Amino acid sequence: YGLSSEHPAPRFFRDCTEPKKSYDAVIIGGGGHGLAAAYYLAKDYGITNVAVLEKGYIGGGNTGRNTTIVRSNYLTPEGVNFYDASVKLYEDLSEELDLNLFYSTRGHFTLAHTESAMRTMRWRAEVNKHVGVESYVVGPEEISKACPQLDISCSGQAPILGALYHAPGSVARHDAVAWGYAKEADRMGVEIFQMTEVTGIDTKGGKVVGVNTSKGYISTNRVLSAVAGFTPRITEMVDLQTPIVIHPLQACVSEPMKPWLDTILVSGSLHVYVSQSSRGELVMGSSLDPYEFHSTRSSLDFVEGLTTHITDMFPFLSNVKVVRQWAGMADITPDFAPIMGKTPLEGFYLDAGWGTWGFKATPISGKTMAETIAKDMAPDLIKSFRLSRFEDYELTGEKGAASVGH
Ligand code: FAD
Ligand code: PYC
């Protein structure tokens, strides 16, 4: 592995260009999820003859477009347990991947402006406490203490009645997560191919036998699709139906400022979430765009609506500039929970339905999908996310905990 003077060890990962004829497993998608699955396949199961195929550059999908909020204050016990396992992996991940992920625990407030929102906060707090996750309801005084700059009346538009406070709420450096997993997976022998698109999936007798790619045919009997907003294009290749629809989710950042916002704030009613990044920018987003659209175009409408509400909360920001805006393609499910595990096609595994909530799940989804592929059986932690739940009408309703308005 690149230790001669002619081929020194790469700083991050090798520049793989020509795939081999065959691999033990092929992962479609070099986002955080695909790369994490490759890493845990190698680390936990010694399966290293693996190719990760990425049609663009690693982390260039939703992994590099998200607002990096990590939390486990969900609504269902299944969701809370799953995301809590991810938070625990994140806490040691910089050390494990030997890369500074700028993982920063800030505390997360979900603001409630109505009595019905307060009811949902109490409900989530009770489920969280029951599972052992630190979340509780606080009043306006505690919110003001944590964030004195916030106008509790929101310029008189929507006075804040209280919030769900979640102590482990964190932010991290998103592309570092992808690069860290890539670096360590590569070190163990996984091959990562950028600018390599999967164009078809070859099956025989109800089993996967290979993939067609822009760099030729690769035979394999295990394929993981981890392509977020591109999921319908991959599932079409194998005639698999899912209830996923694609909606754009937009975000933006302000010019950098000295640190002043210590916490992460979310307001469902004002359709705003905001935190301050390690380089001083306010990282902000709002609701999903209300139409299905397979595009990463961002709009003036978004930034106007968002900044109106941000200045309701923080009138002093009215002269601060927005310097960048963008969109990602969110793969939304009817119950706002992911779709993970085996599928009716033998050897075809799905890691999808990550919508607006999947960055926080990157470590645990990688770990549990690696286990699913290695053992051809999904672990208990992800059983409630199985695709067949939609046929059985056993949904895992997380809409009330999704953070982003819908
Ligand atoms: P991606 O990072 O999208 O990776 C999939 C990759 O597959 C892409 O790089 C793509 O190029 C590649 N691909 C697609 N088709 C093919 C093909 N045919 N062949 C080869 N490669 C292919 N989640 C949170 O938890 N917290 C947040 O604060 C948060 N904020 C968000 C804000 C925005 C604006 C957006 C858009 C999303 C947000 N999310 C958030 C959701 C989160 O970003 C995603 O759920 C998560 O990043 C999905 O990761 P992934 O690795 O599955 O997908
Ligand atoms: O899941 O916490 C979240 C989130 C915030 C913004 C987008 N998703």
Cα 362 to middle of ligand 2, angstroms: 13
Ligand having the closest approach to the CA of 225: 1
Q: pTM of this prediction?
A: 0.97
Whether the per-residue pLDDT at 344 is higher than 80: the answer is yes
What ipTM did this prediction achieve? 0.99
Q: How far apart are the first and last CA of the chain?
A: 48
Q: Is the CB of 285 under 6 A from ligand 2?
A: yes
- Looking at ligand 1, which atom is closest to the CA of residue 29? 7
The one-letter amino acid at 193: F
* 103: nearest Cα among 13, 190, 170, 30: 170
For residue range 302-331, what is the model confidence (pLDDT) as tens digits? 999 999 999 999 999 999 999 999 999 999
Cα 266 to middle of ligand 2, angstroms: 9
Please tell me the predicted confidence (pLDDT) of residue 1.
Answer: 54
Q: Is the CB of 251 under 6 A from ligand 2?
A: no
Whether the per-residue pLDDT at 403 is higher than 80: the answer is no
For residue range 7-16, what is the model confidence (pLDDT) as tens digits? 566 779 998 9
Please tell me the predicted confidence (pLDDT) of residue 400.
Answer: 86
- Nearest residue (by CA) to ligand 2, atom 2, is 69
271 close to 312: Cβ distance less than 8 angstroms: no
- Looking at ligand 1, which atom is closest to the CA of residue 248? 36
**Using CA atoms, how far apart are residues 79 and 57, in angstroms rounded to an integer?**
30
Q: Is the CB of 147 under 6 A from ligand 2?
A: no
Confidence of residue 404 (pLDDT cuts 50, 70, 90): confident
Please tell me the predicted confidence (pLDDT) of residue 6.
Answer: 63
246 close to 235: Cβ distance less than 8 angstroms: no
Please tell me the predicted confidence (pLDDT) of residue 8.
Answer: 61
Cα 214 to middle of ligand 2, angstroms: 34
Mutate which of 360, 362, 365, 406 for ligand 2? The one with the most ligand atoms within 8 Å of its CB, which is: 360
For residue range 162-213, what is the model confidence (pLDDT) as tens digits? 999 999 999 999 999 999 999 999 999 999 999 999 999 999 999 999 999 9
- Nearest residue (by CA) to ligand 1, atom 47, is 63
Cα 55 to middle of ligand 1, angstroms: 13
44 close to 89: Cβ distance less than 8 angstroms: no
Cα 83 to middle of ligand 1, angstroms: 17
Please tell me the predicted confidence (pLDDT) of residue 136.
Answer: 98
Please tell me the predicted confidence (pLDDT) of residue 3.
Answer: 54
Please tell me the predicted confidence (pLDDT) of residue 10.
Answer: 77
CA 67 to chain centre: 9
Cα 388 to middle of ligand 2, angstroms: 26
Mean pLDDT to the nearest integer, 109-130: 96
For residue range 66-84, what is the model confidence (pLDDT) as tens digits? 999 999 999 999 999 999 9
**Using CA atoms, how far apart are residues 137 and 111, in angstroms rounded to an integer?**
10
Mutate which of 66, 356, 360 for ligand 2? The one with the most ligand atoms within 8 Å of its CB, which is: 356
Average pLDDT, the chain: 96
Question: How do beta strands 322-332 and 245-254 pair?
Answer: antiparallel
For residue range 286-302, what is the model confidence (pLDDT) as tens digits? 999 999 999 999 999 99
Mean pLDDT to the nearest integer, 371-379: 98
Q: Is the CB of 169 under 6 A from ligand 1?
A: no
Please tell me the predicted confidence (pLDDT) of residue 186.
Answer: 97
Give residues with Cβ within 8 angstroms of 15, minimum separation 6: none
For residue range 22-74, what is the model confidence (pLDDT) as tens digits? 999 999 999 999 999 999 999 999 999 999 999 999 999 999 999 999 999 99
Whether the per-residue pLDDT at 240 is higher than 70: the answer is yes
Mutate which of 174, 306, 357 for ligand 2? The one with the most ligand atoms within 8 Å of its CB, which is: 357
